[in-house]
Amino acid sequence: MSDLPKAPCVGENVVWYPHGNIDMEPFAATVTSRINDECITLYTLSPTGRREPMLNVKHIDHPDHKNNPMGTRRWGAWDFVGEHEKRKKVSDEYKEKQRKKSLELAEENMVVDADYHTNPDDNEMIIIKFARECGDEPGRAVKIADKISAGMTYQRVNAVLRKFPHLLTGNLPEELIEAEV
């Protein structure tokens, strides 16, 4: 327990975590009495301006929080001003590092199929042909799905239209025109 911080003196400002949950935004609090080196009584200041006394509040890292979760849930936990921001910054840096690592891993394992966006299959070509006829009118995907029917959904139609936007306007490539015949 020697690595736990000593309880602050009466009158010092601290932050208080409702239910001892460090994932929540803490409330401002003022120490009103110091029971011992580990435990304090404080007045919290909620965003509504309501001040509430909290008795027997221990530091957020105190081991009793694991042994006695009911006390933590009832009285919460305290920490020094500014520690929440430091913890949040470390967490954000860790998340950013993980995100970058994931992107690098995805780039290493990415397989690019050049034919994927240039060669629609027969069903996709039918959707593209209907979409070219409909133009840019609202509800186009639903109308195309209804024309094709046979279990075709507007979600599938939209997926094809997003996959081949370059084939919806202008002239079709010759290999696609020949495939139609």
Structure tokens at 103: 């992107």
Per-residue confidence in pLDDT tens, the chain, 181 aa: 467 888 888 989 999 998 888 888 898 899 999 988 888 899 888 777 778 888 889 888 888 888 878 888 888 899 999 888 898 899 999 999 999 999 999 888 877 666 666 778 888 888 888 888 888 888 888 888 888 888 888 899 999 988 888 888 877 776 666 544 4
Type and span of the H or E element at 77: strand 77-80
- Indicate the residue type of 13: N
Domain boundaries defined on the chain: 13-83, 122-180
| Gap between the Cα atoms of 123 and 131, Å rounded | 13
- Whether residue 78 contacts residue 9, with contact meaning beta carbons closer than 8 Å, is answered with no
